[in-house]
Amino acid sequence: MAKLRVLVALLSLYSVPVICGGIDQIRLLGPQAVNLWRLEASRKVVSARASNALDSRGALLIQQPTDGDYSLDLDELEADDDDTDYGLEFKYPEHWFTQPLDHFLPEDASEPRHTFQQRYWISTRNYRPGPRAPVIVLDGGETSGVDRLPFLDTGIVDILTKATGGVGVILEHRYYGASIPVQNFTTDALRWLNNAQSAADSANFMANVEFPGIQENLTAPSHPWIYYGGSYAGARAAHMRVLYPDLVYGAIASSGVTHASIENWEYMEIIRRAADPTCSRHLQHSIELIDALLDISITRKPLKALFGLAGLEHDEDFVSLLESPLGAWQAKVWDPEVGSTRFDEFCDALNKPFEHGGDAEVSFDDETGLLKVDENLSVPVPVYNYAKWIRENYVSQCSGSVEDCFGTFDDAKFQETTLDQTWRLWLFQVCTEWGYFSTAPPAGHPRIVSRRLTLEYESKICKQAFPPGEHFVVPHLPNVTVVNALGDYDIEADRLAIIDGEVDPWRPVTPHSEYARDREDTLLRPFKLIPNAVHHYDEYGRRNSSEEPLEIQKIHREMINFVVSWLWSWKPSNVSSIP
């Protein structure tokens, strides 16, 4: 038990959220997000050492599969029920499935056929054996599968298995969590981290897994499998229904980003339009003024000094850090025990009136409404508040120089390739196939981010982090065609549900994008938009469903309804096909 605790603690140290927004901060903020990841990872390591969560060796342990289930002492497990860090991992022991490293290695290839262990978890508490009892598999996506265990316990997997008598599964994605097939994260070692190999992993698992403790053969296609995913994993769910229709009887793509794009300026546009109007207006005016002040030599340095960033050399790094609080919008969740209020706190701070006497370093001009912070610089109150937020929430975490902490033009900062550098994983997928570089909107368009956030700046980390290897070279720009060829905005099939959030910043790259055609919502092809929802809101659930907001109760009822309807059409001899 003690060894398992150490393993869990060590792995979790490097699967960290970045101040706000989790792995999507890496997807969103490019090179600056890696800096923030490092600051947060360092803080977590220090905190863990202080609480004796690390053993004296400080080693990173990976892939420690057992020959069978963990043997847990029930009294010890019960005592751990209130331990939010480890409780679910004890409740749902991990299992392992052998996968080929390269599913597409030719039969006559001379190179060795390497394998690795893919981790998964199962829940059988709702299982009622029968020909229509489904397997509900949730794709772990671009994070440790441990992070998805709440969905097995009280979220969408539990909701659907309870309604259908099915088995629930969390399947960890190759390279993430403990499903690591390589010894390092160099460019060459990451070359098997792509859409096709990951989809083949899922297909192989579905067709061949033998669940411990279950006598029945539940493999596909002899049993109905419903594939669920949210965000990147939502796109994978849709792709699985299209790529492997004989194995995937039905799929649910929640906030599925089925359109890969080089630039993704629309992400911030959703936030600009959906945020509190006063906050949005303050953001827009502040950024426009900051851009203008950076153009003037005598105001450029005092402006950076106001934000605590006088020593930050490049203006692009400065404005990139200013973009960071906006990533907290995506962390909004309807469940207060899970969701973040960080974006609202940021807006409250931005909208706050100036308090006289609160800062002796500045003077307030009642006539102009400006704060004089330097002989050459006066700013409106929202800009002053913005600067205070950045100082207190970001700069305060920096123990070295601000250039060391927030600069992004030193290539060496991004070339560590050890297994603890987990930020490299999703970034590699961004640089090779998915894109989504967060840039400024077109000229003349309202904006809440700096015009200095160009594609050149946001994508430069691909060259910095992934120099050409012996066997693989990262393309100049990601090959988004390999993703979009699978259906793009128009991806559809019978028994493929599309569910999105009305104010999800990723909505512009889902089938509910304003760029996509409208569709009819049917039982066979559900097409649903959750009002006022952000990112995969349907994935979360409460043990007592009456505690859920009405719109969440409604979408869960609708999901149960269409999944049950699909299962009534199931015949064990069926081999499904895409109409």
List residues with catalytic annotation. Answer: 231, 504
d(CA 94, CA 73): 16
CA-angle at 461, arms to 58 and 285, nearest 5°? 110
List Cα–Cα distances, 232 to 204, 267, 434, 435, 486, in angstroms. Answer: 20, 15, 9, 12, 14
Distant-in-sequence, close-in-space partners of 438: CB < 8 Å, separation ≥ 6: 28, 29, 30, 264, 265, 267, 268, 323, 449, 453, 458
Look-up of token digits 């430069």: 460
Burial of 458 (C-beta count, 10 Å sphere; 0-12/13-18/19+): buried
Which is nearest to 578 in space by CA: 227, 133, 238? 238
DSSP codes joined into one string, 493-527: -TTEEEEEETT-TTGGGSTTSTTSPP----SSS-E
CA dihedral sign, ordered 356, 362, 367, 369: negative
d(CA 143, CA 320): 24
For the record, the structure tokens of 193 come out as 């981290």
Q: Which residues pair with 100 in a beta bridge?
A: 115
For the record, the structure tokens of 357 come out as 């006497």
Please state the φ and ψ torsions of residue 59, each to the nearest 5 degrees: -80, 150
Which is nearest to 332 in space by CA: 503, 153, 529? 503
DSSP SS3 for 364: strand
The number of residues in the chain equals 579
Q: Please answer whether residues 551 and 196 qualify as being in contact, where contact means their C-beta atoms are separated by less than 8 angstroms.
A: no
DSSP SS3 for 133: coil
Distant-in-sequence, close-in-space partners of 189: CB < 8 Å, separation ≥ 6: 182, 183, 417
Look-up of token digits 């100049």: 476
